[in-house]
Amino acid sequence: MYTLPQLADFSPAALDNAALELKSAVESESRQVSNDSEWKVLRDRWMARKSGILTQLNDFWLKAAPGPSKRDVGQRVNELKRIVEQEIEAALSRITSSASASRIDHERVDVTLPGTRRKLGAEHPLIRTMNEIVGVFKAMGYSIAEGPEVETDYYNFESLNFPPNHPARDTQDTLFIAGQQSKPLRERLVLRTHTSPVQIRAMEKQPPPLRVIVPGKVHRAETADATHSPIFHQVEGLAVDTNITFCDLKGTLDHAMKALFGASVKTRFYPSFFPFTEPSADVQISCFKCGGRGRIEGARCSLCKASGWIELLGCGMVDPNVFGFVNYDSKKYSGFAFGMGVERITMLKYGIDDIQHFFEGDIRFLQQFA
C-alpha cells in the first residue's frame, strides 16, 4: 500500500519521480474499488482532512521545501491534488454505473407478460341494482336520460300535472331552496322529489317516438329510519308513440320483472292514482322467496308477510294534460310511464332490513357485495 515519502531532494527530477509514483498509486487503488464501502475507505485514505495523503503533501513536501523550491513544489502539489480528486470521482462513477446496470438488468420488465392489474373496489349494492335495472330496459331499446337534481317548481310539479295548491304536492315532502319567495312559483327551486322532471325535459328535446329510462338521486324531507331516507334513488321509464296501450305497459313491466327476479315471477296490477298518469296502477310481483305461496316449509314467509305478493312500483298511461306542456299531440300519440325505488328493490334482492346501511359507509356491510 502506498505511503507518501518525505523528500530530501527537491530537484525537478526528484519531484517528477515522486509525483509519478503517487499518480500510479492512486490510479491502481481506484481501479481496485468494487463497491460503495471500499470507495469510502479509498476517499478517506487519500482526502481525509487530518491524516489523508493530500494533507500529508502539504506537510511533507510543501512545508518542508526550501525557499527557492516552494513555488515549483506548490504547483506540483496542486496538480497532484487535482489528479487524486479526479481518480476518486471516477471510481465513484464507475461503481455507481455498475450498480445501476445490475439493478436495471435485475428489474428488467418482460413486456410479453400480463400487466399488473390495479385492484378496484366493488360496486355499491345500490349502483349494482340500478345498473341491472337500466340494463334490462336498454336491452329493450330504451335510451338513458339524466337531468339536474335541483329543479324548478315548473319541471318538478306543474308540467307533471301538479297545479298550485294540488293536494298531491303535500305527499312529496319537498325540500325547498331558501330565498326563493320573490320569484314566481314556477321558477322557485327545489331538490327534485322524483326523476319524472327528466321525462319532461326529454320530451321537450325530442319528438315522438321516444323511449327513455331515467336513473337518478332524489330528495324528500323524510325522517331517516329503517325504511325511509331523505336521499334515495329512483329509476323511471317513459315510452311515447302511436297506438301505445295499457297492454304494452303490462307486457313491458312483466318482462322486466322476470328479467330482474326470475322467469317464474308473476305480476299483477291494481288501481292507484298519480297526477301525471291516467289510468294509474300499482304493480305487485309474486314473492320470489316463497314462490307466491306465502309460506316456506309451513312457516310464514317474512318477505311477503304471508301474502304471496310484493308491492314494487307505480305506473300508468301518460295523462294527456302532460303532453300539452311539451306540445305533443295527445290525439295522435299515447304513452306510458313507470317508476321504482332502487333501495326497495335492492333490499328485497339481498335481504337487507335497514335502508340506512346503504348510506353509513360501514366497510363490513359493503364487503359482503365485493
Could you report the per-residue pLDDT of 346-361, keeping only the tens digit for each? 998 888 989 999 998 8
Same domain, 288 and 164: yes
Q: What is the CATH number of the domain that holds 329?
A: 3.30.930.10
Same domain, 193 and 334: yes
Same domain, 163 and 74: no
Residue 75 lies in a domain: yes
Residue 119 lies in a domain: no
Per-residue pLDDT of 198-228, as tens digits, reads: 999 999 999 999 999 999 999 998 888 888 8
Other Cβ atoms within 10 Å of 354 Cβ, number: 12
Least confident segment among 146-155, 308-317, 346-355: 346-355
Same domain, 143 and 270: yes
Residue 49 lies in a domain: yes
Q: Coil, helix or strand for 105? A: helix
- What's the pTM value of the predicted model, to 2 decimals? 0.66
Same domain, 186 and 63: no
Q: Domain of residue 23: give its range.
A: 12-106
User: Distance from CA of residue 208 to its chain's centroid?
Assistant: 36
More confident residue, 65 or 334: 334
* CA distance linking residue 216 with residue 133, whole number of Å: 12
Residue 81 lies in a domain: yes
C-alpha cell recorded at residue 358: 346503504
The answer, yes or no, to whether residue 167 has pLDDT greater than 80, is no
* CA distance linking residue 158 with residue 152, whole number of Å: 9
* CA distance linking residue 14 with residue 19, whole number of Å: 9
pLDDT of res. 142: 97
Q: Which of 46, 79, 106 finishes a domain? A: 106
Same domain, 233 and 313: yes
Same domain, 131 and 164: yes
Q: Which of 106, 141, 171 finishes a domain? A: 106
Residue 116 lies in a domain: no
Counted domains in the chain: 2
Same domain, 32 and 143: no
Q: What is the largest CA-CA distance in the chain?
A: 124
292, 266 contact by CB (below 8 A): yes
Per-residue pLDDT of 254-284, as tens digits, reads: 999 999 999 999 999 999 999 999 999 999 9
Same domain, 223 and 130: yes
The answer, yes or no, to whether residue 245 has pLDDT greater than 80, is yes
Residue 38 lies in a domain: yes
Same domain, 285 and 247: yes
Residue 111 lies in a domain: no
Residue 115 lies in a domain: no
Same domain, 337 and 204: yes
Same domain, 93 and 160: no
β-pairing, 334-341 with 231-241? antiparallel
